[in-house]
Amino acid sequence: MRFRRLRDLLIYAVILACIAAIVVSQIYLTLSSDSDTEDATLFTTSKTLSFTGVIVRDESLVYTSYLGDGVLTYDIDDGSRVSNGSSIAKIYNSYSQIYNRHEIEKLEEEIEALEKAQDNGTTDYVQPEFISTQIAEQYKELISDIKTQDFENLNSERVQLLKLMCILNVSSNVESDYTDRISVLTERLNALEVSLVNAVATVSASSSGYFTSVVDGYESDLTTDGISELTVDDINSIISSPQKNTTMSSNVIGKLFSDYKWQMVGVIYTDDRYFVNESFDLTFTSVGKTYTVTVDSITATGNGNEAIIVLSCDQMDETVAASRVVDVEILFGTYSGIKVSRSAIRFQNGQKGVYVVSGGQTEFRLINVIYEGDDYVLSEVTSDDGYLTLYDSVLLDPVSTTEGQSSSEASDDVEEEESEKSDDDETS
């Protein structure tokens, strides 16, 4: 009996020892795997180049011959195209004349919206559910304008929301019409029109082109023909002082440039020259607007990897028209591939790849690099035999863990790796 109990205790002890050994080994393998390997996952990145650019155009100042007292108001927005002799601005004898004209415009828009809302051709075929959806969307746009302080669009968004709500009221029989409201607005409109007087002066365009009210003192200094003569010091001087310290004539009201095309010059730091004559997206980072530009030239200055870049663009709007110095970012492309740490990359028979753990064995898998980051690369996703695939377990320090190589093969791998790193350093 005693022998049987002793035997049973020994059996239990052996079983417990085996279980403990299995648990400890699994914990060790898990921790070892976490520290020495990583899963090959899909990663997306963008290659960009950021710098501060100077916009260059052929510009001419716009003057008014009127030197008396008055208040200036513009007839057109910045970036608008004007024809020779067309009105650019008017000068009135008081601010109230400008205010009354703006009020008249707002009243006319509101009256038009109400008349449209009660028109049978509009309300008879309207689906209330559809209009309700439009009201919700228009309300969101109105709130967005308030949050971003986009006051230029605020009134037009308000009038559009008013029109939609009135259409819904009439189509749902909440209101029959808006005749009384239209009459009140019309009376106010007529009273304002009676108070109007003619402008004391009108400023007309002396030639056709694009207009902006913003002047900075560089209008006669910067020309497209003179871009090639600009030095790094010239560019940095303009960037540090976007508004030139010069006495501007009091009768200057803006400037014209004859062409919608414009150029940008800036100082960059890169050895890459391959993107000359290529087109890319250029973002004005302060406002988030993007334009399509062509890289005209990249000229090395002889100071390390410093270079002067020249871009050109044929897109014009109020932001471009009013800008001289802007922070920009060029997007060269977006890349998606399998992310591989540089520390895992090795060579075998002159081919670049990584070692992976598969079924408890170490195997060499090729990689096809499509993008290089600072501490990683992206490998093309492919189903070809012998190449790295998604979710492979990649060894991060394969030199110390691979067992299938001779010492000479390992030495060759390290030498090729060091050579590759040297080449990468020279390229970057």
Length of the chain: 428
Q: Which amino acid is at 325?
A: V
Phi, psi of 233 (to 5 degrees): -65, -40
pLDDT tens track of the chain, all 428 residues? 565 666 666 666 667 766 766 655 555 444 444 448 899 999 998 888 999 999 999 999 999 988 888 899 999 989 999 999 999 999 999 999 999 998 998 999 899 888 888 887 766 667 778 888 889 998 888 888 888 777 777 878 888 888 888 888 888 888 888 899 999 999 999 999 999 999 999 999 989 999 999 999 999 899 999 999 999 999 999 999 999 877 677 789 999 998 899 999 999 998 776 788 899 999 999 888 999 999 999 999 999 999 999 999 999 999 999 999 999 999 988 889 999 999 999 999 999 999 999 887 889 999 999 988 888 999 999 989 999 999 999 998 766 444 444 434 444 454 444 444 444 444 33
Q: CB burial class (10 A; 0-12, 13-18, 19+) of residue 185? A: middle
CA 427/CA 146 separation, integer angstroms: 48
Of 384, 389, 397, 402, give the one whose Cα is nearest residue 40.
389
Of 67, 70, 104, 71, give the one whose Cα is nearest residue 196.
104
H or E stretch including 112?
helix 95-117
CA 320/CA 27 separation, integer angstroms: 61
Instruction: Report the SS3 class of residue 415.
Output: helix
Q: Which two tokens stand for residue 402?
A: 């691979």
CB neighbours of 78 closer than 8 A, spacing ≥ 6?
Answer: 211, 212, 213, 214, 318, 321, 322
CB atoms within 10 A of CB 18: 10
CB neighbours of 110 closer than 8 A, spacing ≥ 6?
Answer: 159, 162, 185
H or E stretch including 426?
helix 407-427
Of 232, 265, 256, 242, give the one whose Cα is nearest residue 324.
242
Q: Say if CB 56 and CB 227 are below 8 A apart.
A: yes
Instruction: Report the SS3 class of residue 336.
Output: strand
pTM, full prediction = 0.64
